[in-house]
């Protein structure tokens, strides 16, 4: 449960419910926008990459893309954009070993809306790795600009954002633009072989699945006196729902996606509980530090989902399936019979973060148009559905959550760091935190 001593501003709550209605309108008009450039296959041409979001994950994704370089796959980073100039400096410093593969001298863009300038450049493919709250807006703009896309997970933080991504992805298919999503387990041969074994009946009828992302937590960035409220929140983005979606969405999506993959689609219902036990101070924003959700799929199979950010507790990141003839440790790629004897073992997994980029560029070179946008959106929505269940304390349905009109922020209205932050602290410097049993209308 949420800590009772934290102030719960009703005005902030109303802002949570009302902010960002323009997001829905933006998705509705996407289909009428012109195609600005023709999608094409590259053969031996150089593929120019643009990076939007130069933090740690963005730097890593750009490096992994550049690592695909070969005589038959010439790639170059030619443009970068980020709200913070120091992040661009850090990212480029980390790419010092890629001599001849990075040339952004005339294409370095700084600011909240720097992505617009980058998309006007001649890049062929963009990597989207800003805080997830901006992902629907950036993805829509990239597709409208005729760019191939690699975007990190999650692809949104709320239902309107998910629907905006789905609408943009439909246009991507029509334009024949490649779309990859950073759910790298789907590119690892060990996971692929294990999921196929389970689908082929290796443990009989699946009865129960389990998914975990339990750890100590993540970084925290202190507020500085010169920062505006918006600048502080974007810099410390993990702790604000409109930017991260809470850690059930930002991290646990990986494990939820594996079970969706196994179940051939998202769950139908969810119920759960969660709260804040150690995240109680001003620097911890509004996200929970633990969630536990029971999802039910259309075939009646349940998933027990658990994620936690509390030091000193049991830590694990993994997935399991239990069947009528045995059980499977999916993450380890091992299948056991009912006597707990290993009867099958998958090949060792490759580095999925690298493999997803190799697969993307190989497909583009072959004239294929891979598209992972839909399942990326559905797994994102599965995580949002779980968050809604823990925040409200209610049983919620897939249709109810996917059709929710609650948008956490209108990112289209953010022009600079002087813009008003979608969430404001109360008079004590604390942020509104949903309370189960009280805030039961957060899904409507």
Look up the pTM and report it: 0.92
My answer on whether omega of the bond before 154 falls inside 30° of 0, hence cis, is yes
Largest CA distance in the chain: 64
Q: What's residue 41's pLDDT?
A: 54
Integer-rounded Cα Rg, in Å, for the chain is 21
* Residue keyed to tokens 């598209």: 371
pLDDT on residue 163: 98
Structural domains of the chain, ranges and CATH numbers in brackets: 10-185+354-372 (3.40.50.720), 189-350+382-412 (3.30.360.10)
* Residue 56: count of CB within 10 angstroms of its CB: 14
- The pLDDT score that the predictor gives to residue 44 is 59
Q: From CA 90, how far away is CA 107, in angstroms rounded?
A: 16
Range 308-312, long-range pairs (CB < 8 A, 24+ positions): 308/213, 308/214, 308/215, 309/215, 309/216, 309/217, 309/218, 309/247, 309/278, 309/279, 310/216, 310/217, 310/277, 310/278, 311/216, 311/217, 311/278
Cα distance between residue 266 and residue 8, in whole Å? 33
pLDDT of residue 444: 63
Element (H, E) at 399: helix 398-402
- What's 414's DSSP letter? -
Q: Around Cβ 173, how many Cβ atoms within 10 Å? A: 14
Q: Which stretches of the chain score pLDDT less than 50?
A: 1-9, 11, 13-39
| Euclidean distance between CA atoms 183 and 377, whole angstroms | 11
The SS3 call for residue 55 is coil
Name the strands in the sheet holding 179-181, side by side, starting at the edge strand that comes first in the sequence: 108-110, 75-82, 47-52, 125-128, 148-151, 179-181
3-state SS, 113-173, equals: CHHHHHHCCCCCEEEECCCHHHHHHHHHHHHHCCCEEEECCCCCCCHHHHHHHHHHHHHHH
């Amino acid at each position: 449960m949420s800590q009772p001593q934290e102030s719960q501003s009703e005005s902030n709550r109303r802002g949570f419910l009302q902010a960002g209605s323009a997001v829905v309108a933006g998705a509705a008009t996407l289909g009428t926008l012109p195609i600005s450039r023709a999608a094409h296959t590259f053969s031996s041409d150089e593929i120019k990459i643009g990076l939007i979001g130069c933090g740690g994950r963005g730097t890593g994704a750009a490096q992994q893309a550049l690592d695909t370089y070969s005589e038959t796959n010439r790639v170059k980073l030619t443009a970068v954009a980020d709200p913070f100039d120091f992040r661009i400096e850090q990212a480029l410093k980390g790419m010092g070993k890629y001599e001849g593969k990075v040339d952004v001298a005339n294409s370095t863009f700084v600011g909240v809306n720097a992505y617009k300038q980058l998309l006007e450049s001649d890049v062929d493919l963009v990597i989207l790795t800003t805080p997830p709250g901006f992902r629907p807006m950036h993805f829509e703009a990239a597709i409208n600009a005729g760019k191939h896309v690699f975007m990190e997970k999650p692809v949104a933080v709320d239902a309107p954002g998910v629907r905006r991504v789905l609408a943009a992805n439909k246009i991507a298919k029509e334009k024949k633009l490649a779309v990859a999503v950073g759910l790298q387990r789907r590119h690892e041969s060990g996971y692929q072989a294990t999921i196929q074994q389970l689908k082929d009946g290796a443990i009989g009828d699946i009865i129960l699945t389990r998914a975990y992302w339990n750890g100590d937590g993540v970084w925290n960035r202190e507020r500085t006196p010169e920062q505006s409220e918006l600048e502080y929140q974007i810099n410390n983005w993990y702790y604000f729902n409109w930017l991260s979606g809470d850690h059930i969405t930002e991290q646990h999506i990986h494990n939820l996606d594996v079970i969706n993959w196994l179940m051939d689609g998202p769950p139908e219902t969810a119920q759960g509980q969660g709260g804040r036990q150690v995240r109680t101070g001003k620097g911890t924003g509004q996200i929970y530090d633990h969630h536990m959700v029971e999802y039910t799929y259309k075939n009646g199979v349940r998933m027990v989902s658990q994620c936690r950010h509390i030091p000193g507790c049991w830590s694990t990141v993994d997935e399991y399936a239990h069947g009528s003839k045995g059980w499977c440790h999916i993450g380890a790629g091992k299948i056991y019979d009912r006597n707990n004897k290993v009867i099958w073992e998958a090949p060792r997994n490759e580095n999925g973060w690298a493999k997803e980029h190799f697969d993307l560029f190989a497909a583009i070179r072959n004239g294929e148009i891979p598209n992972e946008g839909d399942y990326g959106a559905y797994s994102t929505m599965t995580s949002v559905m779980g968050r809604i269940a823990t925040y409200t304390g209610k049983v919620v349905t897939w249709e109810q959550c996917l059709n929710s009109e609650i948008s956490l922020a209108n990112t289209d209205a953010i022009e600079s760091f002087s813009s008003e932050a979608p969430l404001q602290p109360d008079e004590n410097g604390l942020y509104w935190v949903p309370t189960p049993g009280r805030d039961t209308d957060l899904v409507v």
